[in-house]
Chains A and B, each alone.
Chain A
């Protein structure tokens, strides 16, 4: 059983490493991540969001739902830790 677990872990790792071989090179201007939405953000973030910091413009404006979810995740994590660790005296 241990052998089976080790084998499946090794196999999953090997498949994941094999998958990274087809990633575009680091900093490649023709990579898909740099050709679809990134040029539009760089060109129009200032006029559309009135914020000179593009990172904040994407984080809080274009992807506001995402950041709302992240905040909720942090809130949930904090409340869970407190619920697990806090013991009220009776």
Chain B
């Protein structure tokens, strides 16, 4: 019933732009320790692309792609990734969130690698929370 924004221009431009917006969001998250950006900013851009999809093609279409339950689980998974990265450092005798001591990976770039893992966790949580709040607020009945 909800067919989204009834305009061919909006739908075509959204179809063209959304992949590039999501690619840029991934760049902002994964390159956050070398250039401006990081998990929070990239997660917001990723969430905005989902919201643009929902606005252009309709809430019901978007809910078929991004299920509300999956988004809710993703909210928790991001925090678990972050906290898990902290516990990983405990395994080999370091302090909590002391990235230099993480096992399985070895210097010299272990710290920047663990920062990237942590940023991915933040990005997943921010993206899922943004999309969940939008879907919860845009409910009709």
A contact residues vs B (CB 8 Å cutoff):
49-53, 55-57, 59-61, 64-65, 67-68, 70-72, 74-75, 77-79, 81-82, 85-86
Contact = CB atoms under 8 A, between A and B. Distances in A.
B8 interface: no
Interface of B: 32-36, 38-40, 72, 75-76, 78-79, 82-83, 86, 96-97, 99, 108-112, 115, 118-119, 121-122, 125-126, 128-129, 132-133, 136-137, 139
Contact of B133 (A52, A55, A67, A82): A82
Given A59-B38, A78-B128, 12 more contacts: A50-B110, A51-B111, A53-B33, A56-B115, A60-B115, A61-B99, A67-B122, A71-B79, A71-B121, A71-B122, A78-B132, A81-B132
Given A55-B36, A78-B132, A71 B78 contact: yes
The main secondary structure of chain B at its interface with chain A is helix
Nearest to B123: A71
Contact of A78 (B35, B39, B75, B119): B75
Contacts of A74: 125-126, 129
A85 B119 CA distance: 29
B78 A75 contact: yes
14 contacts: A49-B112, A50-B108, A53-B36, A55-B38, A56-B33, A56-B115, A59-B38, A60-B115, A64-B97, A67-B122, A68-B97, A70-B40, A71-B125, A75-B125
The main secondary structure of chain A at its interface with chain B is helix
A78 B61 CA distance: 22
B36 A49 contact: no
A82 B112 CA distance: 34
B136 A86 contact: yes
Nearest to A64: B97
Given A49-B115, A81-B133, A72 B38 contact: no
Contact of A60 (B33, B35, B36, B75): B33
